[in-house]
């Protein structure tokens, strides 16, 4: 099919076959007997250089532990003692977050930090800029980190999902995340703030499971279209016993009456 497509394209357009993919839109592709590695090393080093952090000390984590970022509007209603002024030029912060968003294509480990920072694009403060700089310092520590698409991967889909509960100080909404693997290869991942407010941790975890299952169903359909033999049944892991019991037996009780 690939050879037929190449012939059709060459008959209709002027093009050149450059062989195996090595570099495309900032993504580097390396092949070996172990599989295919995708990384954005060149893009990451350029990002560190552009923001002027080439001489900065690398950070061990993307965000500080227990860091609670708030919006400028929230600070106006509930003023704190610390001085945290608005940035005079917010364009620098917006460019940094935009570049980090593109980097998450091969760096799932910064997805949570980037989705947190992207909520403050409208009125960024000094604390937001410092947090974004820390993420870039973390990227600087190992710029060549990426994804391995293993050649020895099994055809079994495995998903992991988790959620916090009312962690956002401003909206009290939950952040849920998941990652889906085929064997040892990571296919899909997401870290996102949900649209609704969960009234219990069990409900928060259950909503996270529902979102993960929707992504699993879409992936299974895509694999069928590509003629990839994959097991229809997929394993879904969750660490909340109440949510697991609701998923196994959806009984009507207080915790489920508003998540039908």
Q: Which of 63-77, 162-176, 217-231 has the highest mean pLDDT?
A: 217-231
Scanning the structure block, which residue is given the tokens 């009456």? 257
Evaluate whether residue 259 is within a structural domain. Answer: no
Query: Are residue 197 and residue 116 in the same domain, yes or no?
Result: no
Query: Are residue 139 and residue 188 in the same domain, yes or no?
Result: no
Q: Answer with the one of 145, 165, 185 that is the final residue of a domain.
A: 145
Give the mean pLDDT of 113-142. Answer: 85
Query: Are residue 62 and residue 137 in the same domain, yes or no?
Result: yes
Q: What does residue 3 show for φ and ψ, rounded to 5 degrees?
A: -65, -40
Evaluate whether residue 23 is within a structural domain. Answer: no
Write the pLDDT tens digit of every residue in 91-108: 888 888 898 889 888 888
Q: Answer with the one of 145, 162, 177 that is the final residue of a domain.
A: 145
Q: Which domain holds residue 83?
A: 40-145
Query: Are residue 138 and residue 61 in the same domain, yes or no?
Result: yes
**Residue 45: pLDDT over 80:** yes
Write the pLDDT tens digit of every residue in 16-34: 888 888 888 888 898 888 8
Q: What pLDDT is recorded for position 230?
A: 66
Q: Answer with the one of 145, 178, 211 that is the final residue of a domain.
A: 145
CB distance 147 to 186 below 8 Å: yes
Q: What pLDDT is recorded for position 132?
A: 87
pTM for the full predicted model:
0.75
User: Residue 208 in 3-state DSSP?
Assistant: helix
Query: Are residue 229 and residue 166 in the same domain, yes or no?
Result: yes
Query: Are residue 54 and residue 73 in the same domain, yes or no?
Result: yes
Residues 6+ apart with CB under 8 A from 180: 157, 158, 159, 160, 186, 187, 188, 189, 212, 215, 216, 219, 234
Query: Are residue 166 and residue 134 in the same domain, yes or no?
Result: no
Write the pLDDT tens digit of every residue in 190-199: 887 777 776 6
* Residue 8: band (very low, low, confident or very high) from pLDDT cuts 50, 70, 90: very high
Element (H, E) at 189: strand 185-193
Evaluate whether residue 2 is within a structural domain. Answer: no
Distance of alpha carbon 130 from alpha carbon 118, whole angstroms: 14
Number of separate domains in the chain: 2
Evaluate whether residue 11 is within a structural domain. Answer: no
Query: Are residue 139 and residue 193 in the same domain, yes or no?
Result: no
Distance of alpha carbon 252 from alpha carbon 257, whole angstroms: 6
DSSP string, 44-110: HHHHHHHTT-TTSPPPSSSS-TT-----HHHHHHS--SS--PBPS-THHHHHHHHHHHHHTTT-GGG
Distance of alpha carbon 201 from alpha carbon 239, whole angstroms: 11
User: Residue 159 in 3-state DSSP?
Assistant: strand
Judged on CB neighbours under 10 Å (0-12, 13-18, 19+), 4 is exposed
Query: Are residue 186 and residue 136 in the same domain, yes or no?
Result: no
Evaluate whether residue 64 is within a structural domain. Answer: yes
Q: What does residue 205 show for φ and ψ, rounded to 5 degrees?
A: -65, -35
């Amino acid at each position: 099919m690939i050879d037929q497509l190449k012939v059709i394209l060459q008959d209709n357009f002027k093009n050149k076959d450059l062989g195996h993919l090595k570099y495309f839109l900032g993504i580097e592709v390396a092949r070996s007997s172990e599989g295919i590695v995708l990384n954005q090393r060149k893009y990451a080093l350029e990002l560190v250089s552009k923001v002027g952090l080439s001489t900065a000390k690398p950070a061990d984590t993307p965000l500080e532990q227990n860091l609670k970022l708030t919006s400028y509007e929230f600070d106006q209603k509930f003023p704190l003692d610390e001085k945290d002024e608005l940035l005079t030029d917010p364009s620098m912060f917006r460019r940094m977050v935009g570049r980090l968003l593109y980097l998450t294509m091969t760096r799932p480990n910064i997805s949570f930090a980037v989705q947190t920072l992207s909520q403050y694009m409208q009125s960024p403060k000094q604390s937001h800029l410092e947090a974004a700089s820390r993420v870039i310092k973390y990227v600087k520590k190992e710029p060549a980190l990426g994804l391995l698409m293993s050649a020895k991967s099994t055809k079994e889909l495995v998903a992991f999902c988790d959620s916090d509960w009312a962690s956002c100080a401003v909206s009290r909404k939950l952040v849920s995340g998941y990652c889906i693997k085929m064997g040892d290869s990571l296919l899909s991942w997401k870290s996102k703030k949900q649209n609704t407010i969960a009234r219990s941790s069990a409900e928060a975890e259950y909503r996270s499971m529902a979102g993960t299952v929707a992504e699993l169903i879409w992936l299974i359909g895509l694999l069928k279209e590509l003629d990839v033999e994959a097991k229809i049944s997929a394993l879904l892991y969750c660490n909340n016993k109440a949510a697991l019991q609701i998923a196994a037996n959806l009984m009507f009780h207080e915790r489920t009456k508003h998540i039908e």
